[in-house]
Amino acid sequence: MYVQSDPRSTLAKEPKSTARVHDSFFGSQLALFYETEPQASDSNGDTWISRGQNFIVAYSRGEAGGSFARVAQPDEYALIIPDRETSVEITTADGTTTVPGYSVAFIPPGDSTIRLLTTGTIVRLFTPKSRDLAAAAANAEAFAGTHPNVPPFEPWPEPPGGLTLKWYTLDVPDDPDRFGRIYRCTTFMINYLTPRVGPRARDKVSPHHHDDFEQCSLALSGAFTHHLRWPWTTNMNVWREDEHLFCASPSICVIPPPSIHTTTAEGPDVNQLVDIFSPPRMDFSAKPGWVLNADDYPMPER
Span of 46-55, 120-129, 146-155, 250-259 with lowest mean pLDDT = 146-155
Residue 301 lies inside a defined structural domain of this protein: no
Q: How many CB atoms lie within 10 A of CB 272?
A: 20
Domains identified in the chain, total number: 1
Nearest to 112 by CA among 78, 69, 79: 69
Specify the pLDDT at position 89: 98
Residues 196/271, Cβ–Cβ less than 8 Å: yes
Per DSSP, the residues of 260-277 read: EEEEEE--SSEEEEEEEE
Backbone angles phi, psi at 67, to 5 degrees: -125, 135
User: Which residues on adjacent β-strands are paired with residue 261?
Assistant: 208, 228
Which of the pair, 18 or 39, is modelled with greater confidence?
39
User: According to the model, what pLDDT value does residue 146 have?
Assistant: 78
pLDDT per position as a tens digit, 132-161:
999 999 999 999 987 888 989 999 999 999
pLDDT above 90 as % of the chain? 86
Average pLDDT rounded to a whole number, residues 34-61: 98
Rounded Cα distance, 58 and 40, in Å: 10
CA dist., res. 213 & res. 156, Å (int):
15
Mean pLDDT of 115-137: 98
pLDDT, averaged across the chain: 94
- Comparing 290 with 2, the larger pLDDT belongs to 290
Range of the domain at 34: 7-296
Which residues lie across from 166 on neighbouring strands?
106
Evaluate whether residue 197 is within a structural domain.
yes
Whether residue 48 has pLDDT greater than 80: yes
Over residues 156-179, the pLDDT tens digits come to 999 999 999 999 999 999 999 999
Q: What's the pLDDT at 20?
A: 45
* Contact criterion met (CB below 8 Å) for 188 and 275: no
Q: What is the pLDDT of residues 199-228, one digit of tens each?
A: 999 999 999 999 889 999 999 999 999 999
* All residues at 6 or more sequence positions from 205 whose CB lies less than 8 Å from its CB, including other chains: 227, 262, 264
The rounded Cα 201 to chain-centroid distance in angstroms is 24
Q: Is 45 left (phi over 0), alpha (psi -120 to 50) or beta?
A: left
Determine, yes or no, domain membership for 18.
yes
Integer Cα distance of 166 and 145 in angstroms: 33
Instruction: Say which CATH number the domain at 191 has.
Output: 2.60.120.10
Res. 2: pLDDT tops 60: no
Q: How many CB atoms lie within 10 A of CB 72?
A: 7
In this structure, is residue 302 part of a structural domain? no
Q: Which has more pLDDT, 23 or 47?
A: 47
For 82-117, what is each residue's pLDDT tens digit?
999 999 999 999 999 999 999 999 999 999 999 999
Is residue 1 situated within a structural domain? no
For the entire predicted model, the pTM comes to 0.93
pLDDT of residue 35: 97
Q: Give pLDDT, residue 16.
A: 54
CA 40/CA 48 separation, integer angstroms: 7
Half-sphere exposure of residue 242: CA atoms within 13 angstroms, side-chain side: 9
Contact 278, 125 (CB under 8 A): yes
Closest by CA to 206, choosing from 117, 273, 129, 132, is: 273
pLDDT tens-digit readout, 258-286: 999 999 999 999 999 999 999 999 999 99
Q: Give the pLDDT score at 22.
A: 57
3-state SS assignment for residue 15 = coil
